[in-house]
Amino acid sequence: MDSGEANMSGASMVSAHSTNIVGDAISKIMEFKDKVFSIEQRGGIVRIKIHRDILPHIVQRLAILKGIYLRTMMASDERGLEGVYRLYYVFGVDKEHTNLVFEVALPQEDPKVPTVVDINRASDWYELEAHDMLGVEFLNRKLYRLVLPEDWPEKVHPLKKEYSVSELLKLYRPKAVEYAKEIGAENIVTIPIGPYHPALHEPEFFELYVRGEKVIDARYMGFMVHRGIEKLGENMKYDQVPFLAERICGICGFVHSTSYCQAVENALDIDVPERALFIRSIILEIERIHSHLLWVGVALHLLGYDTGFMHSWRIRERVMILAELLTGSRKTYGINVVGGVRRDIDNDKIRKAIDVLNYVREEFKKLVEISINVPQVTARLRGTGVLPLGEAIALSLVGPTARGSGLDRDVRRDYPYAAYKYVSFRVPTYSEGDNLARTLVRVDETFESIDMLYQLLDKLPSGSIRNESWSVEPYRLGIGSVEAPRGEVIHVLLTGEYSPYRWRVRAPTYQNLPAIPIMLKGIDLADAPLTIASIDPCFSCTDRAIVVDVDRNTVKSIPIEALSLKGTRAIR
Amino acid sequence: MVKFLKIIPIAVKTGTVTIKYPYQEPLVTDSFRGAIEIDPNKCVGCGACTRICPPKALTLTTESNTMILRYFVGRCIFCGMCADTCPEKAIKITKEFELATGNIYDLYSDVEHEVKTCSICGKTFTSKKLSNKIASKVPDIPTETMDLCPDCRRKETLKKFIGVPEQ
């Protein structure tokens, strides 16, 4: 690299100005200075371009440093720009509010890179997904399909720029079509009935290996309902994507739209009015309260205590109505746009919100007394599904799952966004790592959120709620992360001319799921459902089934509700 | 076991929380966003709403001499971006949420516009209403230019500047 010298001086400048861990990391990286092409710092991100050969060495060096974890990895097709595929490994330094982004360019004719999965276990799915979606080869590891279905055509990597969404729909011929032809059926509806039917609670499939009543090992299979949302986002305008992002999750959608907007704002240096930041925080905390109340209800239901479930959801209902009052919708609030929010909160709404918060605080306190704190419930929760701190760190876990194992990590404090820097709050952590610890983290957090909301509503500054005067500059990198009820959500975005060039979404369950087999090992079979639920899994799903019309040779997706409607008609 | 029993006074105090829908108070708050309503008198058929609509519930098509702005509530996500965008304020967000129907055609509503045809090539290009609106806002555009489709307008303008190209 010719310009190596000039860039290196920039690199030493970064390390001189940085605090400990980032500085240490950079000095470790500089051991390989022949293969470090450039280092630049902007908006809480340190971008480090490195040669692919040194990636495992770098990850190895980072593993020794404490307090650095893999947050996400984005693979991007940049053949049109520079003739390469590029991998962006995003490492977070919690204590220093900084993201280290390692950028590895892979020549298009030879997209190969050494694996890092033996050094960093959290990278496993990221590598498999990059292999599926872009055809990147990771050397020295077993590669298999993770995201794409088994009947997906070979060598078609959907995130490559040459495939449009409509082309992909034409290319994908589900096996069901062949089978329908074989049996000569005219109009076939395939209904997958089995352990991972999407209409069940969540499209998850765990294989539990048991000896007697004890679980010996567990294996997870997922990605039944991959929707290709990242690809869809590449064809939408900047202000349309928040509405798509919000539909990634049915429970914590606002975290995704916020995360997306923050990524764009970070990439393009857009100033967001303070009032908008407060409104985002208010809605995010309301969302957390309703999500935790939902979870507590489901947990009680799994324990066979349906009265507690009903009462938890009764309290939650008031929060749902409040959310509708403040945003216009019970869920998928639809008020986030790049540069701010679309709905304001007036004094009347603040008054009503405080009434609801008072009610929820009192009622939830009573509910905890009569449900979670009773001996029968604690006996089921205590000591089951234990996740040791070491494993939590090794797997780069996030959210209440991490905090239940004593890993004190919270995006609201560590990578401040929205209005969290204006309020004081505690991050509850428990060191036991069992189901009780994770439950108590959520209970405590609910009260913390209520407390935070009083502060936010009280301090709500005046001013505008939206900055509309921003313009796009293509090919800039932005990161937006939000502490969702289930853990951190992180969006990495590369701007394009009219739409995001590449938009990478990572939901908390993606990071936390690999911890479930560890929790399940050695527990009683009866505790398995609650243990699985204890990470509050969210598989980002919508229920879709496939209709195959053999005559016309078309495949279309229809909502599962439509199928059940047909059943109702048949009865009539 | 005693602790569990404390639920009884809570349940008694709470009473019934479900309401006798639809006979009691409305289910939704004042801020609620439901289906939209397009005022055909105000709509000029510019199509701004169709371009911002995230789920493409609003579409603009031309069938022979009619331009149709179609709203399919089945795809609508009730975000209200169309109402924010509409330059004519023709779109109103209603509180309507009881949209279930046995007949899918009930989910479509159309606003029809007469289209203008280009005086040279005969192609349809915009709604008459939008054209009139522009003419009233920008009075110095000559009428003959207003009657041309964008392609022919470009050609005609060029001809004025560089003359008619020799064949």
What would the two tokens of residue A284 be? 């995010």
Gap from A453 CA to chain B (nearest CA, Å): 20
Using DSSP's 3-state secondary structure scheme, residue A154 falls into: coil
Q: Note the pLDDT of residue A547.
A: 45
What would the two tokens of residue A246 be? 């919000």
Using DSSP's 3-state secondary structure scheme, residue A44 falls into: coil
The span from the CA of A18 to the CA of A308, in Å, is 50
The span from the CA of A545 to the CA of A563, in Å, is 8
What would the two tokens of residue A179 be? 């089978």
Gap from A124 CA to chain B (nearest CA, Å): 34
Closest CA to A449 of A276, A269, A557, A322: A322
CA A459 distance to own-chain centroid? 29
Instruction: Tell if the CB–CB gap between A244 and B79 is shorter than 8 Å.
Output: no
Residues of B with CB under 8 A from a CB of A: 1, 3-4, 6-7, 10-11, 14, 17, 28-33, 51-52, 54-55, 77-81, 84
Q: Note the pLDDT of residue B157.
A: 86
- The ranges of chain A annotated as CATH 1.10.645.10 are 229-529
Q: Note the pLDDT of residue A202.
A: 66
DSSP A523: S
Contact between B167 and B156 under an 8 Å Cβ cutoff? The reply is no
Q: Note the pLDDT of residue A194.
A: 52
- Measure CB to CB from residue A328 to each of B14, B31, B51 and give the nearest one: B31
* Strand residue runs (E) in A214-311: 214-221
DSSP B107: G
Beta bridge partners of A93: A68, A98
Inter-chain contacts counted by CB atoms under 8 A, chains A and B? 68
What would the two tokens of residue A10 be? 């920039």
Q: Note the pLDDT of residue A149.
A: 82
Instruction: Tell if the CB–CB gap between B33 and A243 is shorter than 8 Å.
Output: no
This complex has an ipTM of: 0.89
Q: Classify domain A229-529 by CATH number.
A: 1.10.645.10
Q: How far apart are the first and last CA of chain B?
A: 99
Q: Note the pLDDT of residue B58.
A: 97
Q: Note the pLDDT of residue A19.
A: 62
Q: Note the pLDDT of residue A252.
A: 87
- What is chain A's pLDDT, residue by residue, as a tens digit (572 residues)? 333 333 444 444 444 445 688 988 998 899 998 999 999 999 889 999 999 999 999 999 999 888 899 999 999 999 999 999 999 999 999 889 999 999 999 999 999 999 999 999 999 999 999 999 999 999 999 999 888 888 889 899 999 999 998 898 888 877 777 777 777 766 666 665 555 544 456 667 777 888 878 888 888 777 777 778 899 999 999 999 999 999 888 888 999 999 999 999 999 999 999 999 999 999 999 999 999 999 999 888 888 888 899 999 999 999 999 999 999 999 999 999 999 999 999 999 999 999 999 999 999 999 998 888 888 888 889 999 999 999 999 999 999 999 999 999 999 999 999 999 999 999 999 999 999 999 999 999 999 999 999 999 999 999 999 999 999 999 999 999 999 999 999 999 999 999 999 999 998 888 888 898 899 888 888 888 888 888 887 765 433 344 445 555 555 554 444 444 444 444 43
Gap from A523 CA to chain B (nearest CA, Å): 26
Tallying the residues shown for chain B, one arrives at: 167
What would the two tokens of residue B91 be? 């779109």
Instruction: Tell if the CB–CB gap between B77 and A334 is shorter than 8 Å.
Output: yes
Contact between A111 and A134 under an 8 Å Cβ cutoff? The reply is yes
Look at the domain A4-139 and name its fold: Beta Polymerase; domain 2 (3.30.460)
The span from the CA of A209 to the CA of B36, in Å, is 53
Q: Which residue of A has its CA nearest to B30?
A: A325
Contact between A377 and A301 under an 8 Å Cβ cutoff? The reply is no
Q: Note the pLDDT of residue A78.
A: 95
List chain B residues with pLDDT less than 70.
1, 164-167
Closest CA to A458 of A386, A302, A571, A354: A354
**Which residue, chain included where needed, has tokens 């919690």?**
A94
- CA geometry: angle A182, A183, A186, nearest 5 deg: 105
Rg (CA), chain A: 24
Gap from A566 CA to chain B (nearest CA, Å): 11
Instruction: Tell if the CB–CB gap between B4 and A374 is shorter than 8 Å.
Output: yes
* Strand residue runs (E) in A294-424: 336-337, 340-341
Helix-strand-coil split of chain A, %, nearest 5: 45, 20, 35
Instruction: Tell if the CB–CB gap between B6 and A370 is shorter than 8 Å.
Output: yes
| Among B14, B33, B36, the residue to mutate for chain A (most A Cβ within 10 A) | B33
Domains and CATH numbers, chain B: 32-150 (3.30.70.3270)
Q: What is the pLDDT of residues B101-124, one digit of tens each?
A: 999 999 999 999 999 999 899 888
- The ranges of chain A annotated as CATH 3.30.460.80 are 4-139
Long-range residue pairs from A202-211, CB within 8 A, at least 24 positions apart, any chain: A202/A537, A202/A538, A202/A539, A202/A541, A203/A539, A203/A541, A204/A532, A204/A537, A204/A539, A206/A516, A206/A520, A206/A528, A206/A532, A208/A520, A208/A525, A208/A528, A210/A525
Q: Note the pLDDT of residue A407.
A: 94
Closest CA to B113 of B157, B70, B58: B70
DSSP A515: G
Contact between A324 and B29 under an 8 Å Cβ cutoff? The reply is yes
Instruction: Tell if the CB–CB gap between B31 and A324 is shorter than 8 Å.
Output: yes
